[in-house]
Amino acid sequence: MTGTVRVRFAPSPTGPLHIGGVRTALYNYLFARKHKGTLILRIEDTDRSRLVEGAEQYIMEALEWCGILIDEGVREGGNYGPYRQSERKEIYGKYAAELLESGWAYMAFDTPEELGILRKAHEEGGSVFMYNAQTRDRLKNSLTLPADEVSRLTAEEIPYVIRFKMPAGEDIEMQDMIRGKVLVNSGTLDDKILYKSDGMPTYHLANVVDDHLMEITHIIRGEEWLPSLPLHVMLYRAFGWDLPSFAHLPLLLKPTGKGKLSKRDGDKMGFPVFPLFWPYGETARGYREEGYFPEAFVNMLALLGWNPGTDKELFSMDELISEFSIERVGRSGARFDPEKARWFNHQYMQIKPVEDIAREYAKMVEEKGYSIKPEDAARLVEMVRGRVDFISGLWYQTNFFFEAPQFYDEAAVKKRWKEDSPVQMKELKAVLEGISSFISSDIEERVKSWIRERDYGTGAVMNAFRLLIVGELRGPHLFDIIDFIGKEETLERIDRGLEVLG
């Protein structure tokens, strides 16, 4: 790649950022870092009616949580600002005027009501109304009205929009880095509004003007913008600007069935479709709050659309940066799999530094009202992390290290507390009392040799013993548990259990 790569993520702050949007941001970030380029965050807020309070802040917080670092933007600053489109109004006005001047655009005075009537009439006749080369000659615009009439209307401040004059019947050829050559005939396109009567540009004009002025070299965005590509390419031509490269990312699909992944799928199947909890209005669940590690979340997203060409599935951000390439992004939609998301978290639960998990775990233990030393927290985490997907699951796997059984699981008692269990447990207690170095491996050796001497069944003894210590038939290696809780507590739990179970 020659020249300096400049890419942008350009969300509209209309609500919480969907995970599809996070993936777009991620791919832009990976591409920028890989090519030692620059990632710009541009807030596309020209559609004032769709603005949502808190959305801009949410976008930034979500990217930060993911470790997607922005080089230029509203907060970061940079030489190409302002980075919020609502602060760039005059710029767009100037470029709209330039297109009017060069004849690539025209003013249209048709009222929404007039257009509504036309749309309806077409519908009734079984066709779709398009404002384009076929119809514009018969409509109320600066191409059909005499010049003095146009001057009068503008002098009277009659509202008008500025539309792009899409050429008739021309094959527009485009290149997409993922899809290759894309061909569209301009006859299928309408004269899109570039500038609205409220003095704001539409997405199309603002987006193209900014990509040019911000010297964007590669436009990496979602597939839903592919239908806008012909207009954008024509706008570049109209302005006489060099085209950037385009890459349209495949859609994220529902876990089952057809169509785009939506919030409703998440609600139905019980998984979030947003990175963070959304606290406003209709709230929405977030991956962060559900206990996902950002590393796992990012890893999962990276593989939804891109593949490394090998079986490797676990990638750190640095590995993603060095291995990512647009050429390995697929064309067809990527199916979202909530089970796989959990799987990724489980993997990170195993590979993350134990101290990091232990720190969080210790907080949880303290909230339960117990204190724990960092090295003990680490020891317990090591012991049980293989059994959980989330940090929150660690308490259930370790509560019995802190609390003696409050009850004895009925089904387990029925199955495992045998007639000779009381006698065996009393003998076991005596064996344990005689052990001076109460360390897992030592205890195990002594207990096992006692079982052999007495010719007891190992399963029967160990299950009954576990019932007394844990209250249920679960938990890690029993000798590790009693090593941790200590001799005194172990003997007490045996006494207490014998009292209750007889």
Residues recognised as catalytic: 263
Place of tokens 């009693």: 482
- The nearer residue to ligand GLU, 55 or 276, going by C-beta atoms, is 55
Q: How far apart are CA 66 and CA 288, in angstroms?
A: 9
Total residues interacting with ligand GLU, rule: CB under 6 A: 8
Binding mask 152-191 for ligand GLU (x = CB under 6 A): ----------------------------------------
CB of 389 to ligand GLU, least distance (A): 32
Near ligand GLU by CB under 6 A: residue from 5, 7, 10, 341 = 10
Best CA proximity match to 431, nearest among 447, 407, 411: 447
> Of the two residues 44 and 223, which places its CB atom closer to ligand GLU in the complex?
44
Question: Which of 12, 141, 217, 347 is close enough to bind ligand GLU by CB under 6 A?
Answer: 12
Q: Which of residues 356-375 bind ligand GLU (CB under 6 A)?
A: none
Residue 427 CB burial class (10 angstroms; 0-12, 13-18, ≥19): middle
Q: Is 45 in the site for ligand GLU (CB under 6 A)?
A: no
Q: How many CB atoms lie within 10 A of CB 249?
A: 27
Q: Does 225 bind ligand GLU (CB under 6 A)?
A: yes
Q: b vs e for 191-221, b when ≥16 Cβ sit within 10 Å of the residue's Cβ?
A: bbbbbbbeebbbbbbbbbbbbbebebbbbbb
Cα 261 to Cα 193, 273, 310, 458, distances in angstroms: 29, 8, 26, 52
| Minimum separation from the CB atom of position 288 to ligand GLU (A) | 22
Q: Minimum CB separation from ligand GLU for residue 203, in Å?
A: 6
Q: Give the range of 5-13, 102-110, 162-170, 433-441 binding ligand GLU by CB under 6 A.
A: 5-13
* Length reported for the chain: 502
Stretch of 9-17, 191-199, 380-388, 406-414 lying at the interface with ligand GLU (CB under 6 A): 9-17
Strands 171-176 and 38-41: unpaired
**Cα–Cα nearest to 133, from 63, 59, 187, 178:** 187
Which SS3 state, helix, strand or coil, does residue 397 take?
Answer: helix
Could you tell me the maximum CA-CA distance found in the chain, to the nearest angstrom? Answer: 113
Q: What angle do CA 154, 159, 161 make, to 5 degrees?
A: 100
CA distance 19 to 206: 24
Q: Which of 220, 283, 290, 297 is nearest to 64 (CA)?
A: 297
Strands 193-195, 161-164: parallel, antiparallel or unpaired by DSSP? antiparallel
Judged by CB under 6 A, which of 5, 11, 194, 326 binds ligand GLU? 11
Stretch that binds ligand GLU, among 4-12, 91-99, 300-308, 372-380 (CB under 6 A): 4-12
Q: How far is the CB of 312 from ligand GLU (least distance, A)?
A: 29
- Name which position in 192, 221, 254, 385 contacts ligand GLU (CB under 6 A): 221
The distance of closest approach from Cβ of residue 231 to ligand GLU in the complex, given in angstroms and rounded to an integer, is 12
Report DSSP letters for 6-60, one per residue: EEEE----SSSPPHHHHHHHHHHHHHHHHTT-EEEE-B----GGG--TTHHHHHH
Contact characters 455-484, ligand GLU, x per CB under 6 A: ------------------------------
Q: How far is the CB of 224 from ligand GLU (least distance, A)?
A: 8
- Of 46 and 398, the one with the shorter C-beta distance to ligand GLU is 46
Query: According to DSSP H, which parts of 227-290 are helical?
Result: 229-239, 263-269
Cα of 393 vs its chain's centroid, Å? 22
Q: Using DSSP, how many helices (H) and how many strands (E) does the chain show? A: 20, 11
Q: C-beta of 258: minimal distance to ligand GLU in Å?
A: 22
Query: Which of 207, 347, 397, 398 is close enough to bind ligand GLU by CB under 6 A?
Result: 207
Binding residue for ligand GLU, selected from 33, 44, 141, 233, defined by CB under 6 A: 44
The smaller minimum CB distance to ligand GLU, of residues 51 and 435, is found at 51
In the complex, the smallest distance separating the C-beta of residue 174 from ligand GLU, rounded to whole angstroms, is: 14
> 107 vs 233, which CB is nearer to ligand GLU?
233
- Which positions touch ligand GLU (CB under 6 A)? 10-12, 44, 203, 207, 221, 225
